[in-house]
Amino acid sequence: MILKLLVASLALSGLMACVPSAPPSLFLVEAHTSSAAQPKHPKITRVGLLAVKLPTYARSEKIASRTNSNQIVQDDNNRWAEPPEEAVTRTLSASLEHKLSADVTIEPLPRGLDPSLRVAVRFDRFLRTPTGGVEMTGQYALQTGDGRDVVDLQRFSINVPSKGTSYDAFFEAVSTGLTQLGDQIARSALSRQVVRKL
């Protein structure tokens, strides 16, 4: 009797293992380009944007969230639709292109394409908050077109609350946060002290 139960249990386990699990939900982040653009500056016609750097925990396509105890958890069932660094770089590029009214190319640049300004962004925090919003902190560097000189170096700290705890709401908050970061970088790039050095 015990042997029959064991065989039945093993058979059931085998059948359960064969049942396919539901595929993870994939989420895309898009740029907000409805806000007002800055006037085009004759010295900034083309911008080279280096691929952004995210913290190690945020590079996984599994969405990283901070719990109330400051623990970071990654969700197997809800993921970025593309590698996060690529998604953030693409979205920030679209934001900068709109804000600066300039062509923004993600590096490496094609040969012979010389930018008037280079932008490098490094995040030291990029997390979904316990309430579904986003925390972004880090720094960005503005460099001359040849990349030899840093003309401005600034830190940023952006916290965007969410309209809910869903992952759709989180990605909307991410888009808003990257728009705010694009605004800050554009203001720095168009400041008198930076333009004078280009």
pLDDT in tens, 58-74: 999 999 999 988 899 99
- What pTM did the predictor assign? 0.86
Strands 25-27 and 46-49: unpaired
User: Tokens 């010389």 correspond to what residue?
Assistant: 114
Q: How far is residue 182's CA from residue 90's CA, in Å, rounded to a whole number?
A: 12
Query: Under a CB-based contact definition with an 8 Å cutoff, are residues 85 and 53 in contact?
Result: yes
Q: Which residues contact 104 (CB under 8 A, 6 or more apart)?
A: 46, 47, 48, 49, 93, 94, 96, 97
Query: Under a CB-based contact definition with an 8 Å cutoff, are residues 119 and 140 in contact?
Result: yes
- Percent of the chain at pLDDT > 70 equals 87
End-to-end Cα, the chain, rounded Å? 85
Q: What does 158-198 look like in DSSP terms, one character per residue?
A: EEE--SSSSHHHHHHHHHHHHHHHHHHHHHHHTSHHHHTT-
Q: Sketch the domain layout of the chain as residue ranges.
A: 2-195
Helices (H), the chain: 2-18, 84-100, 167-189, 192-195
Q: What is the mean pLDDT of residues 97-114?
A: 91
pLDDT in tens, 115-133: 999 999 999 999 999 999 9
Query: Under a CB-based contact definition with an 8 Å cutoff, are residues 108 and 115 in contact?
Result: no
How many DSSP H helices and E strands does the chain contain? Answer: 4, 8
Query: Under a CB-based contact definition with an 8 Å cutoff, are residues 134 and 177 in contact?
Result: yes
Q: For residue 75, list its beta bridge partners.
A: 63
pLDDT at 34: 67
Q: How far is residue 154's CA from residue 96's CA, in Å, rounded to a whole number?
A: 16
| CATH architecture observed for domain 2-195 | 3-Layer(aba) Sandwich (3.40)
pLDDT in tens, 10-39: 455 554 555 567 899 999 999 887 666 677
Tokens of 138: 């880090």
